[in-house]
Each structure stands twice: as structure tokens, then as C-alpha cells.
Amino acid sequence: MSAMVRPRYTLEEYFELERTSEEKYEFFNGEVFCMSGVSPQHSLIEGNLVTTLNNNLRGQGCRVYTSNLRVKTLPLPPYRYPDLSVVCEQPQFEELGGLKVLTSPVLIIEVLSPSTEAFDRGDKFTYYKSISSFREYLLVAQHRPHISHYIKQEDGKWSYEELNDFGDTVYLATVDCALPLVEVYRDVEFSPEIPPPEGLTPVESK
């Protein structure tokens, strides 16, 4: 979720904003967008992903970073804020504008919002592809059980699959981890026409 702050910034002004603000912002050719604020579904899904990944990756030398960590991109600098990024082996960082940014994610996950879905699927994916270590991309819908899974092949091409059922499991090859959709969407409340998976109780509306 994002909102533009004011019409134009220099890169130096943007770095100063990032250093002095408690909010997080992304820079696009002089325009600056506030990235704070998500829906309850988005927040639950992101938390479920962090929990499930950490439980499965414990002892494997991988680290799961949340949406506050900056990830460097080259085509449209300086960096983006993915919802989750995963690093295996020793993480690599670089300093840009006095701020630390990650340069070595192997897996990036975005939880889709109506206002950002087209960007996450298109231009943002292109920007992430400039990261040499980046090999796997997961796009997670929040309005229904649906995951788009991309993985980079040895020839440089990206394969693609979709998962649409609570009984499905996506296998994350870069981190050797199975991610069941039933865990990704645990406690998430959908529209009435989409029933919860067996054994789970949807959250009551307040």
C-alpha cells in the first residue's frame, strides 16, 4: 500500500527523508511514496509466512527478513521494500545514502494489494531480476487462496505455476522448503463464498 508524499525529490532529499523519518518510503524517478499501512489480511499473511519459513528453515543457515529491510535494485535505484526476503549463506549489504541495503536475497515474497498488484507482477519483478542472487519470487493474494510462483531456471528463463487451493503446497527450491497454503492463510478471513480450510476457524468480524 502506498501514497505519494510530494511531487519531486532529489535522491539526496529522499535519503535524508529515509534517515529522519519513522515511516518507510520508496523512490521512483523523483517521486516518493509512503509504503506504510496494510490491511489486516495482509498483516496476517505476512506474519504466517514469517512464522512458517522460520520454523522450516531453522538450522539451515537461512535468514528471513521482513518488510522494513531495504533491498537494492539496479534498473530503478536505489532500493525497494519487499514484504519478505530470504538469504541463505552470509547476507551481503551495501551502504547507499548512509543506509544499509541488502544485495543478496535468493527468495522475495510480495503479498499483493489491489493498488500494487500490477506493479508487483510487472515492473517491480523486472527490477528484482537485476539482483544476481535472486532466484525465486512468490506473489501471495490476500483476497482469496492464490499464489503465483516463479523460479529461475539454469538457462536464465523463469518458470511459473499457480496454486489456488487450501490443500496445495508450494515447494521453494532455493531454500528447500515446503510452504502449505493452509499455513499461509491461517486465520485469514475471506469473503463468505470462500470457505476456510478444514480444521481452521475464520476470524469473527468485530
Q: Which pLDDT belongs to residue 38?
A: 83
pLDDT of res. 195? 52
Look up the pTM and report it. 0.86
- Listed as ranges, residues in the chain with pLDDT below 70 are 1-6, 191-206
pLDDT score recorded for residue 203: 45
List the chain domain ranges.
1-37, 39-184
CB atoms within 10 A of CB 23: 11
Which pLDDT score, from 0 to 100, does residue 37 have? Answer: 78
Could you please state the CATH topology (level 3) that the domain comprising 39-184 is classified under: tt1808, chain A (3.90.1570)
Q: Residue 57: what are its φ and ψ, rounded to 5°?
A: -100, 0
Give pLDDT, residue 206.
38
| Local structure of 159: helix, strand or coil | strand
What angle is formed at CA 116 by the lines to CA 114 and CA 118, rounded to 5 degrees?
Answer: 90
CA angle 197, 110, 68 (to 5 degrees): 120
Distance of CA 26 to the CA centre of its chain: 14
User: How far is residue 139's CA from residue 149's CA, in Å, rounded to a whole number?
Assistant: 7
- Binning the chain into helix, strand and coil, the percentages to the nearest 5 are 20, 30, 50
128 Cα distance to chain centroid: 11
pLDDT of residue 164: 94
